[in-house]
A and B are shown apart, each in its own frame.
Chain A
Amino acid sequence: MIKHRAPLLLSLALCLASLLSACQTSAPDEPRSIHSPALTLWHAYRGDEASALLESLERFRAETGRAVRALQLPHQALNNKLQAAIPRGNGPDLWIGAHDRVGDYAEAGLIEPVGYWMTSSLVDQYFPRTLEALSYQGNLYGLPISFKTLALFYRTDLSPTPPKSLAELRSIALSLRERGVRWGLASPELDSLYFHAPWLHAFGGEATRLHERQSQEALLNSVSLISDLIRDGLIPPELNGALTASLFTSGQLAFVINGPWFKGDLEGTALPWSVAPLPTLSDQRALTPYLGVEGVFISSYTQDPTGAWALAQSITGERAARASLQRGGLVAQRALYQEEAPPALRAWRATFEAQLTNTRPLSNDPRMKRLWTPLKRLLSSVLFFQASPQESLTEALRAIEEQGS
Chain B
Amino acid sequence: MSARPQLGFIAPALCALLSVCFALITLNQATRYGGTQAQSWLSERLATQPIQGLSDLNITLSDAQLELKLIELQRTGEPQSASYLSPLKAFKVATGAGGTPSLTSTTLSKEWFDAHWSPRAQWTRSGEVWLRRPLTPQERGALGRTGSSQLSLIARLAPPARSPLPWLEVTAGVLIALLGVYGLRRWAYDRLVGGALIGLWGSVCVSWPLLNSVSDLQQVVASWALSLHAPAPTLIPAELLVPLCASLPWLLLAIAHLFTRGRPSPNRVAYTYMAPTLISVSLLVFIPFALGVALAFTRHDHGRFEWVGLEHFYHILGGGLYELSHPLNFYFTLGVTVLWTALNVLLHTSLGLSLALLLNRQGLAFKGLYRALLIIPWAIPNYITALIWKGMFHQQYGLINHSLGLFGLTPVPWMSSFWGSMTANVTTNTWLGFPFMMVVCLGALQSVPRDLYEAADLAGASPWVKFRHITLPLLIPALTPAIILGSVWTFNMFNIIYLVSGGQPNGATDILITEAYRWAFEQDRYGYAAAYSLVIFVILILYARLTQRLSKAAEEVYS
Contact = CB atoms under 8 A, between A and B. Distances in A.
Given A115-B84, A380-B506, A11 B119 contact: no
Given A118-B84, A138-B75, A236-B396, A28 B117 contact: no
Interface in B226-283: 227-229, 231-233, 236, 241, 245, 248-249, 252-253, 256-257, 260
A381 B506 contact: yes
B82 A28 contact: no
A141 B82 CA distance: 15
Question: Interface size for chain A: under 10, 10 to 19, 20 to 34, or 35 or more residues?
Answer: 35 or more
Interface string B102-128: 000000000001100101101111110
Contacts of B165: 23
Contacts of A306: 114
Contact of B229 (A23, A28, A399, A402): A28
B88 A116 contact: yes
A15 B73 contact: no
A115 B505 contact: no
A372 B503 CA distance: 14
Interface string B318-335: 000110000000000000
Contact of B177 (A15, A115, A237): A15
Given A28-B127, A87-B303, A139-B150, A14 B229 contact: no
A47 interface: no
Given A15-B248, A115-B73, A384-B416, A30 B523 contact: no
Interface string A140-163: 100000000000000000000000
Contacts of B86: 113, 115-116, 118, 139
A167 interface: no
B231 A89 contact: yes
Contacts of A240: 390
A138 B114 contact: no
A109 B130 CA distance: 13
A377 B396 contact: no
B219 interface: no
Nearest to B506: A381
B184 interface: yes
B523 A369 contact: yes
Contact of A7 (B186, B236, B256): B256
A2 B178 CA distance: 13
Given A31-B125, A139-B150, A11 B252 contact: yes
A115 B85 contact: yes
A246 B174 CA distance: 73
A15 B241 CA distance: 11
Contacts of B396: 236, 238
Given A8-B181, A305-B114, A28 B416 contact: no
B391 A7 contact: no
Interface residues of B, number: 74
Contacts of B257: 4, 7
A369 B524 contact: yes
Given A11-B253, A108-B302, A238-B396, A88 B229 contact: no
Contacts of A384: 416, 504-505
B397 interface: yes
Given A8-B253, A104-B302, A30 B125 contact: yes
B549 interface: no
A14 B505 contact: no
B231 A32 contact: yes
Interface string B64-101: 00000000010100011011111010000000000000
B84 A10 contact: no
Given A104-B524, A236-B396, A139 B518 contact: no
A306 B150 CA distance: 22
Interface in B467-489: none
Given A116-B113, A373-B518, A7 B252 contact: yes
A270 interface: no
B506 A26 contact: no
B256 A10 contact: yes
B26 interface: no
B245 A19 contact: yes
A29 B229 CA distance: 8
Contacts of B187: 3
Contact of B505 (A2, A119, A385): A385
Contact of A33 (B117, B227, B231): B231
Nearest to B234: A22
B357 interface: no
Interface string A114-129: 1110111001100010
A238 B395 contact: yes
Contacts of B416: 238, 384-385
Interface of B: 36, 39, 73, 75, 79-80, 82-86, 88, 113-114, 117, 119-120, 122-127, 148, 150, 162-163, 165, 170, 174, 177, 181, 184-187, 227-229, 231-233, 236, 241, 245, 248-249, 252-253, 256-257, 260, 301-303, 321-322, 387, 390-391, 394-397, 415-416, 504-507, 518, 522-524
Query: A-B pairs with the 4 shortest C-beta distances?
Result: A7-B256, A11-B252, A107-B302, A108-B302
